[in-house]
Structure 1
């Protein structure tokens, strides 16, 4: 028995024979050439061939993982059009008079290492995408076919790493699970695994010398445990868990594709809240109608500099493409209070929950806010985006925000950059915004009620202070009265209203929210089907 602990990236449990996959990187030699322009033409031909291949992979991915999963290969096609990448390859061919394979490999290594060295985990994961695209180019230039692994029977695949292309080329019915030594929670391969329903563990420190084809492996995609050659006792435990998960899965699957509609015909949208790009797969896995709250703070936290406009644009575009036309509400950065970024050098505050946070910080620091607005307007071209502004207390704040959006749009227009101004909404999370929601409804397209902060501000009870935990009650009648008031005022002006706080997943209140006329409930991905079940019972 050999046991490893890795990072779980796709939930599920599997038991079966091992199939070890060899590293898919192609060997490359440096060769001197005589005609640089002819070599560049060869490189361009390989690029066009790669685009055709990605179209085929896209179609296969649509069958295996749906349109959102297939969008990964649209991202690879965009990489093939990237002039920074291909300009560097052409320059190397001309400067060093080397073959296209070598120029592609060296340039790919450089860009891959650049991504791998970035602070943001999502951007680091793009290093694997660069390698995948460049390996495809090298294969086309060298005239070699990229071989598809064929386990021969349903197997647990074990590899140093797997690219998105390799994952999709494999026959779904032959993959019980996969285990890799490298990889990332944010990688496109991990996203594909989640969308295809394949249990997966990455970053498992597997020593291949002790692993043989055909030996039994048990993979737990919930806690990251991988056991090779398990004992009979361990197998019995794993199989019991497998049976239990199967029953739960069948129950939830029976609700997929069903409408969120009550027995008497009242409909409501059920969306999902997420805090990272890697969560998108769970949104789709649980059949959410869209993303009701995408917290953009993850781009700003745990790093040393403000994320650039380009960096943000790529992330927002990626989310929209993965959601394939479903509504995505992105909340502008809500820093301050309990979410601190050291590089902003914010002054210490005696009561940060009531201090410079959310929209207050953004309006004071346009050098933070304006690049995000530009990135959002640019990304809106690629999908069904809506922008949400947090911590509003007065109409003047909304007016200032809308002015900045117009400024950002004019700048993009002047730069000749494609953009679109999407729907714009505000968080109702302060008592002030709830009390003047009739005024605010005139200015925006929708409301999203943040019940966590609304409750703590309405009740003057810090939700993180355990000593007064009994006072923090999101179900308090004052909180529910504010939710009702905001909903009524939104509807008076023909605007939509949703709830994105934790209260949205409280199924004891679902009926009351429906009676209030709430149009949308946005919950944790794992709660989507449970709330749908409750709605359909009413």
Structure 2
């Protein structure tokens, strides 16, 4: 066995020895010799995503036919794993060469391995490092493939690698080249200059801390995009480690590839001159839950189309799937079978291939940016968020760098990009997480778009029928958004899930949709008339004439009722015995306000101001806010708007709002409490609201108030600011009743408030102690629970003592079954989605207030919301 000596204390420091070599130095390129004998295996073919996706560095693998690992170059053993299966050599030019024997060999805890060196030992190329029992190890691990990697691949590149069989200590395996610090990456994410990742320079520092993932589903697409955005704010090298894996914090796919879940503890490492700020940004992004609707259940009690028949009545040929968006539809099938876009022919010109890759990414990046701007202009919030996630995937440095490396090895740009995407898709598919697996569709969509940009071609637009039911393997976001929504009455996909981007958009548009139907879906021919009952989770490809007629009648009846209601939408909502109910709209923007007027709303019962604060590094200025609020008031054409102050915290985090991590954010700094924590933010918003004219058209509402003391504090701030502005008139000031304490203290609140408005979504979850985002509680979280009804009654009673009115701006106000009870309880304002204003008004006109009042007193004594709903349907059947 060759003799190896521990490093002497008199040896020059590693830092002194590993300086950047002069041009032409023999160390400018480092030859590596094979540490084992056997055939060479490309990293892409290694059956472990940690290695195949180069999370641990670029390099090569060997299928060993020998049992001894020898040094691939001269160097120092800077790390030897305690299990003896892996070590790292630092070569004289600074390259860190990792040799890792087998896959999952760490679990053997050293069994079958013998190390012949120690950390700190100087070795020469060919010296014996490790021996192992081939038979013993092979029986206990998935593979003996041995990886030879450049662990610091940000600073060193592989200039050449062998593709045949090699002999240990004799055959040249790779050539490693030090990257010139003056070099810059060919392709930059979103045009930004990549942060230097070499050794920390003067003034640089390193920071290390742990973070707990707060995102539902772990670091999937949206939260991973949030983390990468935070990582790019500072010129630092930032990594996130979990379960023995380390991911570049600038890479969405690498972060998703960690396979984390909510509550997992990860380690964040930042290196650079602003390491502390970078660490803070990334930890905040990891520990701040993303607000979104990916897994949010439908609100109970909402009026949805019921299944037209029982399961027993369906044709035997019916196909089943998971309901992503309920509803009923009859239409003709439009097949969007996957179109495989072939990469363009190779140019056989290295510079030309690099330029082709860069140009295609630039083109698609511009397309995605235009889609984001368009979604913003239409205030399509969910669509905007999804394209932002696409943008992050497109700019992902792991994918881009993998494609560049392949191009550098002579692979054409199209094939290189496809291979890079395939590798990342393989990572996501192996994690066993359905939420992450659905992001594969997004990656495939981007791959197709990039290849089309390279070739200069475009996919043909699908021809739609007047009533089309789109059938696809899995509908990509870009495919869905380019379809004419007016011609789509239904969607069916073989794969996908209820959390996919398209499923979310389908729900928002009210398009009946089924997902995960399986390959039998493609037995339905193009152009075939089918019956989709998404509420029941079934597609009937051979509907009888009788079933089609029944379905069409059900849809026609609903459309007729809606048309009749629209024809009378300008009329007030007055019960048959003369009791008036104001029907207002819940909105977020000036465009929403104009739509609410067209839909016949009597005003705005809830303006959610959060839209002004989202996706910003800094809060909007007073002038910006005032302009937005004034735009809403102007669009209402003399009607009033109830404007809620910023409702942040809990499930509504804001990037610029430094709220602490909370074990139970639903009970923490939410609503007005976040305003108390950031008083300058609250004062700025109050000043903006007090600047609106006419002031009488603006009513201010405070979220999550729990007692009168909080209300009085804000009223004091309103008075003080009004005095500063020399205002003689004050806007109305109201309180949202969202927590049981506020309902129980309604009489105290009403003494100082001008009105009360019930937020029944939160009031229900806090009353029943059930998370309203928990899918397991969806059926039980019903606002018609007798406990909730009693709190509503208590609120109205308390407000009436002081002559104040009570409204409802939660989902219960849009529930047609609930309206008779709400009217009977004495609620005088219902604030609903603009699209249902007409139906709610029509529903009120069918009621008798006194009858509602008497029956509601009886119904409140029932024991469950199911009983209450059943009795309500019997008493007031016209829904």
Give the TM bin, normalised by the shorter chain. 0.5 to 0.7
3-state DSSP of counterpart to 2:461: coil
Match of 1:247 among 550, 557, 562: 557
Written as runs of structure 1 = structure 2, the 5 A alignment for 1:166-245 is 166-171=479-484, 175-194=488-507, 198-207=511-520, 210-230=523-543, 232=544, 235-245=545-555
CA-atom RMSD in angstroms: 6.0
What residue is the counterpart of 2:456 in the other structure? Answer: 143
**Which residue is 2:667 aligned to?**
359
Corresponding residue number in structure 2 for 1:269? 584
Equivalent residue, structure 2, for 1:50: 364
CA shift for structure 1 position 240: 0.5
Work out whether residues 85 and 111 of structure 1, in 8 Å CA contact, stay in contact via their aligned partners in 2: no
Q: Is the 8 A contact 1:449 1:498 kept in 2?
A: yes
Alpha-carbon distance, 1:182 to partner? 1.4
Structure 1 residue 244 displacement after superposition: 1.4
Between structures 1 and 2, the one with greater strand share: 2
Alignment of 1:392-471 (within 5 A): 392-393=706-707, 395=709, 427-429=737-739, 430-431=741-742, 433-437=745-749, 448-450=757-759
Per the alignment, do residues 119 and 207 of structure 1 end up closer, same or farther by CA in structure 2, a change over 3 Å counting? closer
**CA separation in 2, counterparts of 1:133 and 1:32?**
22
2:401 to 81, 91, 109: 91
Indicate the residue corresponding to 1:67 in structure 2. Answer: 378
Cα separation, partners in 2 of 1:454 and 1:168, compared to 1, 3 Å: closer
526-535 or 446-455, which moves further after superposition? Answer: 446-455
| Structure 2 residues not aligned, in runs of 5+ | 1-315, 589-595, 617-631, 636-642, 653-660, 686-699, 715-732, 768-779, 848-879
In 2, the alpha carbon distance for the partners of 1:456 and 1:85 equals: 40
Match of 2:796 in 1: 480
1:22 aligns with 2:337: yes
Whether the aligned pair in 1 keeps the contact of 2:583 and 2:832 (CA below 8 Å) is no
Q: Work out whether 1:333 is the aligned partner of 2:646.
A: no
CA distance in 2, matches of 1:345, 1:81: 30
Q: Which residue does 2:473 correspond to in 1?
A: 160
Question: Is the Cα–Cα contact under 8 Å of residues 164 and 189 in structure 1 kept in the other structure?
Answer: yes
Please name the residue that 1:82 is paired with: 392
Matched positions, count: 423
Give CA-to-partner distance per residue, 1:394-440, whole Å, 9 cap, x none: 6469989xxxxxxxxxxxxxxxxxxxxxx997544315653442698
How far the C-alpha of 1:181 sits from its partner, in A, is 0.6
TM-score, with normalisation over the residues of structure 2?
0.38
Residues 193-250 of structure 1: per-residue CA shift (max 9 Å, x gap): 45665433221124257433454432112222112234x3xx4124202211221123
Q: In structure 2, how many angstroms separate the alpha carbons of the residues matched to 1:139 and 1:291?
A: 47
Partner of 1:531: 840
Instruction: Please state whether the residue corresponding to 2:490 is helix, strand or coil.
Output: strand
Higher relative contact order (CA 8 A, sep 6+): 1
Structure 2 counterpart of 1:301: none
Q: CA deviation at 1:358?
A: 3.9
Quote the offset at 1:167 in angstroms: 3.0
SS in 2 for 1:237: helix
Q: Does the residue aligned with 2:820 lie in a helix, a strand or coil?
A: coil
SS of alignment partner, residue 790 of structure 2: coil
CA deviation vs aligned residue, 1:432-459 (integer Å, no higher than 9, x gap): 65344269869xxx9642468879999x
Name the SS of the counterpart of 1:474 in structure 2. helix
Asked if 1 retains the 8 angstrom alpha-carbon contact of 2:585 and 2:834, the reply is: no
How far the C-alpha of 1:507 sits from its partner, in A, is: 3.4
C-alpha distance in structure 1 between counterparts of 2:503 and 2:709, whole Å: 43
- Provide the C-alpha distance between the structure 1 equivalents of 2:440 and 2:734, rounded to a whole number of angstroms: 34
* 1:82 alignment partner, SS class: helix
- Structure 2 CA distance for partners of 1:171 and 1:262, relative to 1, 3 Å: closer
Contact 1:3–1:227 (CA<8 Å) still a contact in 2? Answer: yes
- Indicate conservation of the 8 Å contact 1:449/1:499, yes or no: yes
Distance in 2 separating the partners of 1:269 and 1:214: 43
Distance 1:448 1:206, change over 3 A: farther
The structural deviation recorded for 1:162 is 1.7
Cα distance between partner residues in 1 of 2:426 and 2:703: 35
Select the structure of larger CA radius of gyration: 2
* TM-score normalised by structure 1 residue count: 0.57
The CA distance in 2 between the partners of 1:68 and 1:16, in whole Å, is: 29
In structure 2, distance between residues paired with 1:121 and 1:184: 8
Of residues 479-488 and 469-478 in structure 1, the stretch that sits farther from structure 2 once superposed is: 469-478
> Are 1:159 and 1:181, in contact at CA under 8 Å, matched by a contact in 2?
yes
Q: CA deviation at 1:6?
A: 0.9
Residue 121 of structure 1, CA deviation: 8.0
- Residues 361 and 223 of structure 1: CA distance in aligned 2, closer, same or farther (over 3 Å): same
Q: Say if 1:247 and 1:54 are closer, same or farther in 2 by CA, change over 3 A.
A: farther
- 1:322 corresponds in structure 2 to none
* Number of the residue aligned with 1:319: none
Q: How far apart are residue 23 of structure 1 and its match? A: 0.7
Structure 1 residues 132 and 526, CA gap change in structure 2 (3 angstroms): same
Residue in 1 that maps onto 2:321: 6
Q: Answer 1 or 2: which has greater helix percent.
A: 1
Change in 2 beyond 3 A, CA 1:102/1:361 = same
Distance 1:236 1:268, change over 3 A: closer
Q: Which runs of 5+ in 1 are unaligned?
A: 274-282, 297-311, 315-324, 336-343, 347-355, 378-385, 401-422, 459-463
User: Which secondary structure does the structure 2 equivalent of 1:2 belong to?
Assistant: coil
In the TM superposition, residue 252 of structure 1 has moved relative to its aligned partner by: 1.9
Q: 1:125 to 1:513 in 2, by over 3 A?
A: farther
